[in-house]
Each structure stands twice: as C-alpha cells, then as structure tokens.
Amino acid sequence: MEILSYLDITFFLLASIGTLIGIIFGAIPGMTATMAVAVCLPLTYALGLEHGLALLLGLYVGGISGGMVPAVLLNIPGTPSSITTTFDGYPMAQKGLGEMALRVCVVSSLVGGLISAMVLFFFAPLLAEFSIKFSYVEKFLIILLALTVIASMSSNMLIGIFSGVIGIWLSLIGTYSLSDGGNGKTRLMFDALEPYLVDGFSLLPVLIGIFGISTILLEAEKGVKSGLSGAKLDMGKGGGFSLGLFKGRLTNLTRSSFIGTFVGMLPGVGGSAASVLAYTQEKNLSRDSSEMGKGAPQGLIASESANNALTGGALIPLLSLGIPGDSTTAVLIGAFTLQGIQVGPLFIPENQDTWTVMMIALVFANVVMFFLMFYAIKYIARVVLVPKYILYPIIVMMCVVGAYAINYGIMFDVWTLLIFGIFGYLIEKIGLEVAPLIIGFILGSSAEVYFVKSLESFGTYSIFFTKSPIAVVLWLLIAASIGFSIVLGLKSRARQKMELSQVTGSTQQGDRHDG
Amino acid sequence: METSPLSVSIDFDSSHLFFPTIIHWALALLFALVVVFRLVPFLAAVKRGEKTLPIIGECMDGVRFFGTLVLIVGYFALMSVVGNLFPYTGYGFLFVSIVFLFLMSMMYMHTRTRRKVITAAINAVVAPSLAWLIFAKLFYITLP
Amino acid sequence: MSMPRLSITLATTALAASMALSSSVALAADGPLRGNIRVVIGSSSTGGDTYQNSAIVVDQLSEALDLNMKVDAVGVSAAYRALDRDPRGNTLMIFHDQAYLGHQYGVEGYKDPFENYIIGPTIAINPGNAYLVPKDSPYQSLDDIIEAVGSGETVRVAIQPGGVSEIGYTALKNAIRIEHPGSEENLVAVNTGSQADKNQLLFDDQADLINGSVQANEQYTRLPEDDQKAMRFVWLTARHDTLQQAHEEGLGQTDRETLLQFVEPNVEVTMGDAGNFAFDKEFFFLYNKDMNPEIVEQIDATLAEIYAEGEIQETQKQSFFIPDFMPSDEAQAHLREKADRYAEIIDSIKP
C-alpha cells in the first residue's frame, strides 16, 4: 500500500489547518473559499502534491462552510453560495436563535459534503459522461430554471421579476467577453467609465456592497442604535438546537445535497445556482413552506447542504474532464499544473493513489469542519454582542480587503463596494427586492452566453425545445417551477387577505420588506 | 437551413447587442407594468396621505448617514493616494484604515465615555494591523 | 529559439552577466529598482500558462534582486491600467503574443504594445498550441482538411476569436486561399470561449476541428476511439526547432517524438513565398513607456545571470515550457518582425 506513505500525521494536520483557515476566510465578510485557495496555492509547491491537496481541499471545504457565519449573524453572505442562507438565517439570528441556526447549518453542511464526496467517489467518470450531454442549449435551460426561482422567492412576483431583470441587465455591463466566446465589444456604459468597466462589475464586490455596505448605510440612517435588540440571545444549552429539528427533513436534506452535487458538476452554470435551486425546490415541494424566508430551519438545511455538496460536485468535471466546475476549482487546477500533473479524462485511472488520497482528504476535511464549527459556534455567535460602533468599521475594512483582493488587487472593485452599497440602500428604499436582483446578476452573463451561442449554432429558437430529451425534461421542470410559484403566490395572497381582514392597517409596510 | 418564424441569424460582430436588446424590451415592459400596478396606486396613496415617499418623506439621522458616506469616500480615495506613496507595501491600507476605524467608531458612539473611546482607539490600531500582518505579510495579498 | 541561437544569446550576455554576477547583493541595493515590485499578468487565471511561467521567472528574479516581488493575475485591461499609472518601475507586466495579436485583430482595449509600452526580455515559449479532430474524424491530417476545404467541403473550426487561438485558423485559411483560391470561404470559424466550450463543440459535433493545447488535451488523445470524448492531434503550431528542445518524455504519456509528427515540416501550412507558417507562443515582459531605462538594463542583466546559471531552464522544461531568454533590444526586434509577419496573414484574409 503505497498510499499509506502519504497518510502521515502531516497530511491530517495540513487538512485540519486548511479547514480551520478556510472557515476563518469564509467567516470574514468579503473573504471567500476561492481566495483562501488562491493565497495558499504557492505553499503547495513546497509541500508536494498529496500534502498540498490535503491543505487545499481543507481550505475549500472550510471556506464554503465558513460562509454561513456572516450570512446568519450579519446578513452578509460570506461566500456567494451562502446567499440563500441569509434568507432564513438572519431572521433567526434576530430572534436570538443565531446559535441554533448555525448548528442546523453545520449539520446540513456535513451531510451535504459527505453525500457529494460519496457521489464523487463512486460515480465521477459516469457523471462526467453525463455532464457532456449538456451543450449550450441545456445549460441555458438549467440557468433559466434557476432564474424561475425568482418568481417563487419574491414577496411580490411582479416586483421580484422586475428586480431580477435589473440584475441581469447589470451583469451585462462591460464587454461581451472574448473568453466566454463573445466578440469582445463593450456595451451599456459611458465612454468615460470604459477603462474601469471593461470587465464589468465583479460579483463579490457587488455582493458584499449590496448586502454589507448597504446594511451599514441603513443602520447609519437610523442612528446606529446600540447593541442587539433586547439582547435576547439564547446562550448555552446549544441554543435550543437538537437533532429533532431534522425530523421530517431527511428528504429535503438528501434532495438538496443531490441538487448541489449535480449543479456543481456542470461547468459554467455557476456554484451559487446550487443553493438557489435547492432552496426553491424546498419551497416548492415541501408540505409547508409558509415560514421560509422568515426564519425557518428548513431553508437553512436546503441552502447549506446544497452549497457544501457543491464541493464534491465541482470536483467531478475537474478530475474526470480537466474542467473546473466552479471558481474555486478553477484555482485548484493550479495545484496540479504547478506539480506537472495533467488533469483530464485519464487522471483518475492513471493516478489512483492521488485520487484515493484526495477522497480521504475531502471526507476528513468535512468531519474536521463539523467538529471545529459545532463546538466553536457558541463563541462565534457572540459576534452579535460586539457593539456596533466597533463591529461596523471592521466590517467595512474587511469588505475592502476582500473586494480589493478578489481580482488580485484592483481599486475599482473597492469603489464597486460603495456604488452597490448605495444602490442596495436605494433598492431597499424604493421597494425593489435584493435577492432576485442578485440572482439575476449572478446568472445573467452565463444566460447570455448560452442563449446567444445556442442560436448562433442552430439558427432557430425551436432548438430550445427540440435539442434533446434532457431539454424536454428541463422544460417540464421549468413549467412546474413556474406553476408552483403561481400557486404559492395565490395562496399567500389569500392568506394576506385573511390577515388583513383580521388586523386592518398593520400591513402598510407589507410591500416593502423582504428576506 | 429552412426559414421558419422561429429561425434567427446573429451577426457575430453585433452579437454583443443581441441579448441586451431583449433585456431592454423586458425591462421596458416590466417597468410599464410596475408603473401601472404599483407606482400609480402608491402615489395615489401618498396623495391621500396614507403613505409617505421613501427617503424624502422619512426621518433620518442625517449626520450619521451622510457622515458614513463621506468617511467611506474619503477612506477609499485616500487609501490609494497614500498607498501610491509606498508602492505595494499595503501601508496605504494600514494607515488610512486606522484613521477611518477610529473616526467611524467615534461617529457611531452615542455617549462618548473615556472607556469607550479608549476601546475604539485600541480597536482602530489593532484590527487594521492584524489584517495587514495576516494578509499582506503572511499571505502576500496585494493591498493598496 | 533554436539551440545554436540560444547559446549565442547566452554567450553574448555572459559578459554583462559576469559583471552583474560580481555582486548581486550590491546590484539590489544600488540598482534603480526599489521597494516592492508587483508583476501583473494579462491573464486572470492562476492555473494557466501565463501565471505558471511568470511565477517561475519572478521567483528567481526576486531572489537574485533580493526584492519582494509578487505575481498578480489581474487580466489584460486591469494589467495595462496598472502599468500605465506607474512609471516608477514598481509595476511590471508579463504577457505573451496576445499583446500584439489582440491589437492586430482589432480587439477592443488592445493598444499597439510597440507604440505604447517598452517591450522587455522574452522568457519562455509554450510549444503546446494545438489543433485537434475527433478520433473517428475522416480527416487523417491537416493536409486532408486543406484538400477537403479546397474541394468545397465545409469545415468548422472552434476557436476563441481575437488572438493566439485564432492565429492558426487565420494561417490555415490563408494557406487554403493560396492553394485553392476562392474556397477559403469553406473554412468557417465557430467562435467560442474556454477550452471546455471548445471540447464540448467537438463532442456535440458542432465543430470538425478545434483549437486546444497539448497540456489540456493530451489525455483526450489517449482515449479509445469508441469514446465520444476521444480526440487526435493534427497540428501543433510550434516551430520544429522549438519543440525539439522539450524533454524527450514529452508531456503526460505522449513523448516528444510523437508530438514532433504534428509540427512543420511534417505539417505544411504555406504562407506563399514566406515559407511555412509556424507560431511559438512566447512570453515576455512589458514596461511602462516612461520607465527608467536603467531598470530595463537591470532586469536584462539579472535575467541573463539567472539563465547563465542554467537552473531555470530545467524548471521550465519540467513544466513543458521551452526556455527562451532574449534581452530587451533583441526581443523587441524579434517580436516586431514576428508581429509584422502575422499582420500580413491577418490582412490577407480580411474580407
């Protein structure tokens, strides 16, 4: 057994340290798993492939999981894939249930991570074979499916869709990128801004601007009232957490994990789509989803199991096609090239040892993540007790570091923070919805590429319906998703009317709040 | 290729405008719907005095709100100016952050007791220094 | 660069090198380069060849100069912007032939690098630029494709427009224009983006020939023919003499001997009187136009010293790169001549 020679103390130590650093990166608003992997990449040269991979996979798993912390406690997604965690996590934290929310997240993350690792181990080549059946047309339909969730997650469907389309519009600013197969020409901008906007607005600064900076502006407007409202933090005794919360949620947990793995596996669809899809499927399919968006654990379960399942999913095309499934694995590929190892369809058969070692590191990192976080949560949750006059300046500073570092040092990304901070503030004020807008922004540019490329290749709109059986299935899912959201919309309208007739006048702000 | 009502041909040189055009139409349509179904009823409600206009009609802590904006703009602008004096050392970030953190803390405090001010001052020095040490020195991240 | 030329280069720079060698610490302290140096690259990927090449060279440079140097993958437009703003020499850039090809193809945001920047030394070549067909393709060689297109068959080529990925396609089209005038219209570009997208077009039968690289596609060429993903090299654009310098083991499990079958003169893409087309993807430094010329000299001298030691060549070859050091003036002349040659082909196929 040659493998055993790699599995020394150092190996497990590196995986643990990686996970810890990853969690810290993920937990800091503005820092992401991608960044954690990127900054530690040069270290792997000295460590050798197996040890280097242990560190990087730890960082990856830790970074994705760590994103839940600011999402729940501060309403700022620590990584793009934890957006949906904010929907239910933050309302729970506001009710003083932050600790419980985080524990639900940790358990879901562990399950998601392990399920996807298992899928990766047993079915990687098979699934890679399946994933290449997805051409431009099918990828566009997957994105369309993810976009339909906008309808079901907004509190007012018209406003939600309008916000989503604004998000798509914003994502188109800049060049129609050559590296996506576009013609490299700029659109939707003023000439004066062209030097800064050629690459458009990048996702992370937009995200932390619209969630982080705008939250601070909104608080500033209210005068930054001190402390947590009422300090009703439910400390100790696990914050009211028990595994009983997962009772009746096993379907949700498994379904979301598989959705996460599957979406992660499709290159170019974008990792954030995973948790969004899982979240809305839960909303559409669960028996009672009326509490989702107001602080329901089921939302956290869907979101967090899906985004951790992404890790195994995104490794599938990387290791069996040589194609990264998301932005973090795109950086991870550097670890292989630095060591002179080619990843491609023959990687797994030709590097059995490395492959096994990676799987061990992946599973181990998930377990370490679980123990580190589950027992640290008690202390982490106290972040909300830090006075705002200390906390807010630090958040701004960390957002700056994150925004500046995400594209390896571009000052315009820092200004993007402010632009979208103010924009987020205005959105909130005029009653548009943030979540659909962000989802539109995330998916907009790939929607464009796959839509236009499909038409360029086939020259007819009918191709979207006739391309393949997969396309037909996707259309059925899209139709179902839209159908569900209309039904849900009607239901909630009926309920609102009932409430309105009981308590008149109390819903004045009803059209303005969102998750 | 047969011609049908669904067929379409995209000129590669202008393909960067194809999708944005569709989105513009969608935006215009949705905006019209929003005006009819949301904005007009809302303005009518404002006229009747049932609702208030956003931002203009609301009370706000002007000092803290605009103070925050001014501080952030100053922070971002000075960071690159100072950073430019010490190329790629991260000093621009470090020095300007210290000042920014302290000023912002002071502004957000409602009562300025001695103890609070000292806490803020310590935080203003320690937090950026730690960030700088870890990111610029340990991980070699380029900072302004 | 051929072996004899490489040794001449090394010999001519040996003098300068030996002077610099006398005190490399003093060089750093007294030299015009000061403070922390940031090397921006024209690619935003840290997994790509530009980053890898830059990392190898900058690592050595930083050690020899005893200065903090860091490679940042900011991408083309941000890299140029950073370079434009800093004439002090704290910002340097590394990029490849895309710098002038992008300009020649008229891509937005690409200024003429010869006019707007100082071209610095070349450092290495990536000989991996390749064209592939499906393993069960009826075309056995590039010649088959040229003949087929000449006889009226339509052949679709998946490329990323506007640069290194397109130049081979352009040359092929030009060769067909020369050999079978009028039928070059039958060679059609399918414009796409990443390597994943190009591969996918081949799997979907939406392209007959794709641009790729030895590094990214080698494993696909070793799949059994009945696999939908299996591919076959038909053309590597590198010069024969360049690829000849690679390690005998080649890359992955494809040795140099096998790879050499796909370069000129085995594969002929004519440029008319100018002989055969070949393209080496070369990496080189770019500096701010107003940067102190002493810094140019300092970096030239330090690199000459590093290459004279011979260790860096081993590292480069290990990663399937061909060492290719030319000091600034030599590099400028060489790239200028290269750019002019390609400008002609690009012009000749313009409609």
Q: How does pLDDT run across A25-64, given as a tens digit for each residue?
A: 998 888 888 889 988 888 887 888 889 999 999 999 999 9
pTM of structure: 0.89
What's the pLDDT at C30?
Answer: 61
Nearest chain C alpha carbon to B91: C36
Winning range, highest mean pLDDT, from A200-204, A273-277, C29-33: A200-204
Other C-beta atoms within 10 Å of C25: how many?
A: 10
Residue A373 has pLDDT above 90, yes or no: yes
Q: Would you say residue A18 has pLDDT above 90?
A: yes
Optimal mutation site among C62, C91, C108, interface A, most CBs of chain A within 10 A: C108
Q: How confident is the model at residue A237 (pLDDT cuts 50, 70, 90)?
A: very low
Query: What is the DSSP-derived secondary structure letter of residue A408?
Result: T
**Residue C273 has what pLDDT?**
82
Mean pLDDT of all residues in A240-260? 85
Residues of A in contact with B80 (CB under 8 A): 411
In a 13 Å sphere around the CA of A297, the CA atoms on its Cβ side amount to 24
Instruction: Give A461: exposed, middle or buried? Use CB within 10 Å, 0-12, 13-18, 19+.
Output: middle
Q: What is the biggest distance separating any 2 CA atoms in chain A, rounded to whole angstroms?
A: 74
Distance between A248 CA and the closest CA of chain B, angstroms:
39
Signed CA dihedral, A305, A110, A350, C319: sign only? positive
The residue type found at A302 is A
Report whether pLDDT(C256) > 80. Answer: yes
Check residues B52 and A232 and name the one with the higher pLDDT.
Answer: B52
Selected residues 169-228 of chain C with any CB under 8 Å from a CB in chain B? 191
- pLDDT for residue A499: 72
**Using CA atoms, how far apart are residues A155 and A163, in angstroms rounded to an integer?**
12
Q: How does the average pLDDT of chain C come out, rounded?
A: 89
Q: Pairing state of beta strands C117-126 and C281-288?
A: antiparallel
pLDDT digits (tens, 9 = 90+) for A142-168: 889 888 878 777 778 899 999 999 999
Best B40, B43, B72 member to test A by mutation, with max A CBs in 10 Å, is B72
Q: How far apart are CA A251 and CA A349, in angstroms?
A: 34
Burial class (CB in 10 A: 0-12, 13-18, 19+), B54: middle
Is residue B76 within 8 Å of A213, Cβ to Cβ?
Answer: no
Q: Is B93 on the interface with A (CB under 8 A)?
A: yes
Q: What is the dihedral of CA A3, A8, A14, A15, to 10 degrees?
A: 50
Per-residue model confidence (pLDDT) at position C26: 39
For the segment A182-211, what is each residue's pLDDT rounded down to a tens digit? 888 888 887 778 888 888 899 889 999 999
Which residues on adjacent β-strands are paired with residue C189? C157
Q: Do A185 and B123 touch (CB under 8 A)?
A: no
Integer Cα distance of C189 and A471 in angstroms: 26
pLDDT of residue C12: 41
Residue of B nearest to A224 (CA): B108
- Provide the pLDDT for residue C48: 86
Ranking A121-130, A279-288, C1-10, C290-299 by mean pLDDT, the lowest is C1-10
Under an 8 A CB cutoff, do A400 and B93 touch? yes
Q: How far apart are alpha carbons C333 and C341 in whole angstroms? A: 12
At residue A286, φ and ψ (nearest 5 deg) are -75, 155
pLDDT of residue A96: 85
| Pick among A178, A321, A336, A355 to test the C interface (most C CBs inside 10 A) | A178
pLDDT classification of A270: cutoffs 50, 70, 90: low
The whole-chain average pLDDT of chain A stands at: 86
Q: CA A429, CA A294: separation in Å to the nearest integer?
A: 20
Backbone φ/ψ region at A248: left (φ over 0), alpha (ψ -120 to 50), beta: left
- Calculated CA dihedral for residues A259, A264, A266, A269, nearest 10 degrees: 100
Which chain A residues have a beta carbon less than 8 Å from that of C77?
A: 195, 198-199
DSSP codes joined into one string, A141-160: HHHHHHHHHHHHHSSSHHHH
Residue A274, number of CB atoms within 10 A of its CB: 33
* pLDDT (average), residues B75-103: 94
Residues of B in contact with C70 (CB under 8 A): 88, 140, 142
Q: If you measure CA to CA, which chain B residue comes closest to A189?
A: B20
B-contacting residues in C 135-164 (Cβ below 8 Å): 161
* The pLDDT value given to residue A58: 96
Q: Check CB contact of A174 with chain C, cutoff 8 Å.
A: no
Give the whole-angstrom CA distance, residue A108 versus residue A266.
22
Q: Which residue has the higher pLDDT, C18 or A381?
A: A381
Question: Among A108-112, A212-216, A379-383, which is the least confidently predicted range?
Answer: A379-383
Which pLDDT score, from 0 to 100, does residue C326 have? 97
Q: Is residue C100 a contact partner of residue C113, using CB atoms and an 8 Å limit?
A: yes
Residue A304's identity, in one-letter code, is E
Distance from CA of C126 to the nearest CA of B (A): 27
What was the pLDDT predicted at C255?
Answer: 94
Cβ contact B142–C91 (<8 Å): no
Residues of B in contact with C68 (CB under 8 A): 88
Which pLDDT does position C13 carry in this prediction?
Answer: 41
pLDDT at C5: 44
| Residue A357 pLDDT class (50, 70, 90 cuts) | very high
The reported pLDDT for the residue numbered A346 is: 92
Helix (H) or strand (E) holding C191: strand C187-191
pLDDT at residue B54, as a whole number: 78
Asked if residue C183 has pLDDT above 90, the reply is: yes
Partner residue opposite A172 with nearest CB, options B20, B75, B141 = B20
* Confidence band, pLDDT 50/70/90 cuts, at residue C132: very high
Query: What band does A239 get if pLDDT is binned at 50, 70 and 90?
Result: low
Q: What's the whole-number mean pLDDT along residues B73-90? A: 93
| ipTM of this predicted structure | 0.93
Judged on CB neighbours under 10 Å (0-12, 13-18, 19+), A250 is exposed
Mean pLDDT across C121-134:
97
CB contact under 8 A, C72 and B86: no
Residue A89 exposed, middle or buried by CB count within 10 Å (0-12, 13-18, 19+): buried
Q: Which residues, in sequence order, are CB contacts of A59 under 8 Å at separation 6+? A: A18, A19, A21, A22, A25, A33, A36, A37, A40
Tell me, what's the pLDDT at A481?
A: 85
- 8 Å CB contact of C90 and B140: no
How far does C172 lie from chain A, in Å, by closest CA?
20
Residue C235: pLDDT over 90: yes
Q: In this complex, do B87 and C72 lie within 8 Å of one another by their Cβ atoms?
A: no
Average pLDDT over residues A222-231: 62
Smallest Cβ–Cβ distance between B88 and the set C38, C161, C191 belongs to: C38
CA distance C71 to chain B (A): 9
What region does B88 belong to: left with phi over 0, alpha with psi -120 to 50, or beta?
left
On the 0-12 / 13-18 / 19+ scale of CB atoms within 10 A, A230 is exposed
User: Under an 8 A CB cutoff, do A183 and C161 touch?
Assistant: yes
If you average pLDDT over residues A455-469, what whole number do you get? 90
In the DSSP assignment, the letter for residue C160 is -
CA of B122: which chain A residue's CA is closest?
A390
| Whole-number pLDDT of residue A341 | 83
Q: What is the pLDDT, as a whole number, of residue A325?
A: 79
Give A-chain residues touching B69 at CB under 8 angstroms.
217, 422
- The closest CB to that of C74, out of A132, A321, A410, belongs to A410
pLDDT reading at C129 higher than 50: yes
Q: How far is A27 from chain B (nearest CA, A)?
A: 14
Nearest Cα of chain C lies from the Cα of A493 at a distance, in angstroms, of 44
Question: What mean pLDDT is predicted for residues A385-389?
Answer: 89
> C69-72 and C37-41 as β-strands: parallel, antiparallel, unpaired?
parallel
Residue A514 pLDDT > 80: no
Nearest by CB to B142, from C72, C86, C161: name it. Answer: C72
Report the C-alpha gap between A480 and A486 in whole angstroms. 10
pLDDT band at A1 (very low <50, low <70, confident <90, very high): low
- CB-CB neighbors (< 8 A) of C35 in chain B: 86-89
Q: For the ranges A443-452, A480-489, C229-238, which has the lowest average pLDDT?
A: A480-489
Query: Which C residues 34-93 touch A at CB under 8 Å?
Result: 38, 44-47, 51-52, 55, 72-75, 77-78, 81-82
- Average pLDDT for residues A463-478, to the nearest whole number? 91
Contact status, residue A375 vs residue A5, Cβ threshold 8 Å:
no
Task: Give the integer Cα–Cα distance in Å for A52 and A43.
Answer: 7
Report CB contact under 8 Å: B64, A408. no
Q: Give the pair of three-digit tokens for residue C343.
A: 């400008």
